[in-house]
């Protein structure tokens, strides 16, 4: 599977990158970055830092530094000021590629017609790609994204961060007719890192000690902000779906995004009971087999040992 991972590292984005690079089933063509958990300069630096950690030969392309229309929001309360607080990681050495993320997507989608886009941050880059290169949209095999919520949000009562950070972009993507698989908070909160997973990570060896430190920080901010004792591993759910879709229960629903609501701005409106009469446009992940998830997660990450 050829993928482009479009992300805003971000602790969980970092583990989505690692899971993708550790999986032989996946050809990671490149990592593109977007403003989200932190400013573009930070998310781009963090992506490079993570790839440098295991010396992965994957190029990094910077994308949009602000949302299409709304003002920038970042998440220092969750990911720290740098966007990847909590571990003494060696500083990024690899360069930022010259091409803009959107132009890299266009180059790859001109060359290949089976690419899966895996966005794990706000959808600004993907939406801008669709606006700038409409003739290439049909070359996208599918989009497997982390974002949205059916029953709840995490930035407002109804809006999840990736969507709320650029609702207009999310609306463009969800109405693009590209096959979409969506991992909302309802499923990512079933895949929770606790002390058990953190100590298992530590036991994998030195570099994994640093990764365990990242998880410990991420878990601490979720305790502080949401008062929950485990941290959902949101973004890796996308890559895990590519590797083992059977780990997830999915249903097809029509999903759209509210861009004008006072209380509901950024909400993913999921038509569970088909009251809208609109044809489903997304496969929505509803359930995850958490035990199987972490079995595969650690099996894959341990492939990085000795790298
Ligand atoms: O709401 C969770 C999502 O927002 C995750 O992708 C996390 O990395 C943040 O970007
Ligand atoms: Ca993210």
Q: Residue 19: which CATH number?
A: 3.90.245.10
Active site residue 11: no
Ligand number nearest CA of 232 is: 1
Distances from the Cα of 67 to the Cα of 97, 128, 292, angstroms: 21, 10, 36
**Strand, coil or helix: 5:** strand
Q: Domain count of the chain?
A: 1
The stretch 177-205 carries a mean pLDDT of: 97
Question: For position 206, what pLDDT does the model report?
Answer: 83
pLDDT tens digit string along 247-262?
Answer: 999 999 999 999 999 9
Question: For position 236, what pLDDT does the model report?
Answer: 99
The stretch 185-209 carries a mean pLDDT of: 96
Number of H helices, E strands in the chain: 12, 11
Q: Does position 43 have pLDDT exceeding 90, yes or no?
A: yes
State the distance from the centre of ligand 1 to the C-alpha of 61, rounded, in angstroms: 19
Ligand 1, closest atom to CA 188?
A: 2
Among 14, 36, 191, the mutation site with the greatest number of ligand 1 atoms within 8 A of its Cβ is 36
State the distance from the centre of ligand 1 to the C-alpha of 207, rounded, in angstroms: 24
The percent of residues above 90 in pLDDT, for the chain, comes to 98
109: containing domain: 2-306
Whose structure tokens read 């290169």?
133
State the distance from the centre of ligand 1 to the C-alpha of 238, rounded, in angstroms: 12
Contact residues for 138 (Cβ-Cβ < 8 A; gap 6+): none
Q: Does position 307 have pLDDT exceeding 80, yes or no?
A: no
Ligand 1, closest atom to CA 234?
A: 5
Question: For position 226, what pLDDT does the model report?
Answer: 98
Question: For position 305, what pLDDT does the model report?
Answer: 83
For the chain, what is the mean pLDDT? 97
Hey, how many other C-beta atoms are within 10 angstroms of the C-beta on 131?
A: 13
Residues near ion ligand 2 (CB < 5 Å) are 8, 10, 13, 120-121, 235
pLDDT tens digit string along 73-118?
Answer: 999 999 999 999 999 999 999 999 999 999 999 999 999 999 999 9
Distance CA 246, CA 148 (A): 21
pLDDT band at 179 (very low <50, low <70, confident <90, very high): very high
**H helix runs in the chain, sequence order:** 11-22, 40-53, 76-79, 101-111, 124-132, 161-164, 167-174, 185-188, 195-202, 206-226, 236-243, 290-301
Ligand number nearest CA of 75 is: 1
Ligand 1, closest atom to CA 13?
A: 8
The set of protein residues with a Cβ atom below 6 angstroms from ligand 1 is 8, 10, 12-13, 36-37, 120-121, 146, 154, 160-162, 234-235
The stretch 28-55 carries a mean pLDDT of: 98
């Amino acid at each position: 599977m050829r993928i482009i991972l479009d992300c805003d590292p971000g602790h969980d984005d970092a583990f989505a990158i690692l899971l993708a690079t550790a999986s032989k089933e996946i050809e990671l063509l490149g990592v593109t970055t977007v403003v989200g958990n932190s400013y573009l300069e930070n998310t781009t630096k963090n992506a490079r830092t993570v790839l440098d950690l295991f010396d992965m030969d994957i190029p990094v392309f910077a994308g949009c530094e602000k949302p299409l229309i709304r003002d920038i929001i970042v998440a220092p309360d969750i990911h720290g000021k740098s966007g990847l607080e909590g571990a003494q990681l060696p500083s990024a050495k690899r360069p930022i590629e010259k091409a803009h993320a959107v132009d890299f997507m266009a180059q790859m989608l001109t060359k290949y017609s089976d690419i899966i886009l895996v966005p794990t941050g706000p959808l600004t880059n993907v939406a801008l790609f669709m606006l700038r290169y409409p003739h290439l949209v049909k070359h996208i095999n599918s989009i497997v994204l982390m974002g949205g919520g059916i029953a709840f949000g995490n930035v407002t009562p109804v809006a999840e961060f990736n969507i709320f950070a650029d609702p207009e972009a999310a609306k463009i993507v969800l109405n693009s007719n590209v096959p979409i698989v969506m991992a909302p908070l309802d499923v990512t909160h079933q895949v929770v890192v606790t002390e058990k997973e953190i100590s298992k990570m530590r036991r994998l060896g030195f570099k994994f000690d640093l990764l365990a430190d990242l998880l410990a920080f991420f878990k601490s901010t979720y305790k502080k902000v949401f008062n929950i004792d485990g941290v959902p591993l949101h973004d890796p759910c996308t890559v895990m779906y590519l590797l083992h879709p059977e780990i997830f229960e999915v249903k097809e629903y029509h999903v759209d995004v509210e861009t004008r609501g006072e209380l509901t701005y950024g909400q993913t409106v999921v038509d569970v009971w088909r009251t809208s009469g609109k044809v489903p446009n997304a496969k929505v992940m509803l359930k995850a087999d958490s035990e199987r998830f972490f079995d595969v997660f650690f099996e894959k990450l341990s492939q990085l040992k000795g790298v």
